[in-house]
Amino acid sequence: MIAKIVYFLYFKNYRLFCTLILFNLQSKNNILFIINPISGGKGKLRIPDFIDKYLDKEKFSPNFIFTEYIGHAGELADEASLKNFDIIVAAGGDGTINEVATKVLKHNKILGILPLGSGNGLARFLNIPKNLRQAISLINNLKIEKIDSATFNNKSFFNLAGMGFDAHLSAVFSSDKKRGLSGYVKLGFKEVFNYQPQVYTINIDGVEHKRKAFAVTIANSSQYGNDVFIAPSASVKDGLLDVCIIKPFSLLKLPVLSYVMLKGRAETSDMIEIIKGKNIKITRQEAGAVHVDGEPLQMGVEIEALVNPLSLQVIVP
């Protein structure tokens, strides 16, 4: 139909107008959906057809690819950025977003998110709907904002990074075959009984705090996922990180800690201390497990976390 109109106008001497229409038609955004088939523990084979059905083809030329191994999403996002993809969508959880967003940040492209993970911490913070059709329609609207990103010993993160129990649990969870929320909760209960708190020296913008802690989490956004809030007042636009120190506690108080986090009351609880800052240096007792957006890594005794204000372009509601 559009072709017929352009043809008609062209021969009626509206040539400049036709060139503008054609330019507009060509200037569709190349968009790549990088889909993690294992995140969230649900099958994703039909996801490309579903996206294709609801994506606005007047605006986008879509491509789809499934990841095949850990780190693959990052490689694909890197290649796509060099091949003229303007928008790269991470279809998965926080780990997939981390890999894709790290490359999107590097190449100054635009990140889209389809929350298909177990926890979806960043997506929940950004109010990106879990309903896939609604999340696609949000991409169709193409509202873009800049948010803060951060580094944890030079490794980018966008939601949370940390050490202590969180990191221990990520390491155990990643080697477990069961994904999804229920698997995570079961493992958490099993592991919490044996975990020993560590001593951390935490320097926040030049002020030193020595603390024994169950976990130390550096938060860019507010939650682990599934509406479990560790830093309820965190913002991805304030140029600050929230250093959240979970104090050692008797296991009898585990339900209280869970309640506090589920209700978003960490800031008023005596079980959690939160200090905001930009430049954080942590020295811990031993090298070992950390997590970066929920993905387990090994790091040394010294860890530096820095914020990179308003550095990442993301499609938001």
Answer for which of 72, 130, 155, 247 binds ligand ATP (CB under 6 A) is 72
Can you list the positions of beta strands (E) in the chain? 29-35, 60-66, 87-92, 110-115, 144-152, 155-157, 160-164, 198-204, 207-213, 215-219, 223-225, 228-229, 241-246, 272-277, 279-284, 288-292, 295-299, 302-315
156 interacts with ligand ATP by CB under 6 A: no
Cα angle for residues 300, 306, 310 (degrees, 5° grid): 145
Contact 221, 234 (CB under 8 A): yes
Please report, as residue ranges, which positions from 135 to 154 form the binding site for ligand ATP (by CB under 6 A): none
Q: Which residues contact 45 (CB under 8 A, 6 or more apart)?
A: 37
Answer for which of 62, 112, 117, 162 binds ligand ATP (CB under 6 A) is 117
How many residues are recorded in the chain?
A: 317
- Please identify, among the stretches 15-23, 114-122, 203-211, 302-310, the one whose residues bind ligand ATP according to the rule CB under 6 A: 114-122
Answer for which of 39, 81, 149, 223 binds ligand ATP (CB under 6 A) is 39
CB nearer to ligand ATP: pick between 99 and 273: 99
Q: How many helices and strands, by DSSP H and E, does the chain display?
A: 10, 18
- Taking Cα atoms as reference points, which of 289, 280, 2, 32 lies closest to residue 174? 289
Distance CA 89, CA 107 (A): 14
CB of residue 56 to ligand ATP, shortest distance in Å: 25
112 interacts with ligand ATP by CB under 6 A: no
CB nearer to ligand ATP: pick between 72 and 155: 72
Distance CA 227, CA 139 (A): 23
- Please identify, among the stretches 16-24, 118-126, 255-263, 304-312, the one whose residues bind ligand ATP according to the rule CB under 6 A: 118-126
CB of residue 68 to ligand ATP, shortest distance in Å: 5
Please report, as residue ranges, which positions from 185 to 214 form the binding site for ligand ATP (by CB under 6 A): none
CB nearer to ligand ATP: pick between 39 and 217: 39
Answer for which of 81, 96, 149, 198 binds ligand ATP (CB under 6 A) is 96
Which residue sits closest to ligand ATP, CB atoms considered? 93
User: With 0-12 CB in 10 A as exposed, 13-18 as middle and 19+ as buried, what is 285?
Assistant: exposed
273 interacts with ligand ATP by CB under 6 A: no
Residue numbers at the binding site for ligand ATP (CB under 6 A): 36-40, 67-73, 92-96, 99, 117-120, 179, 225, 294-295
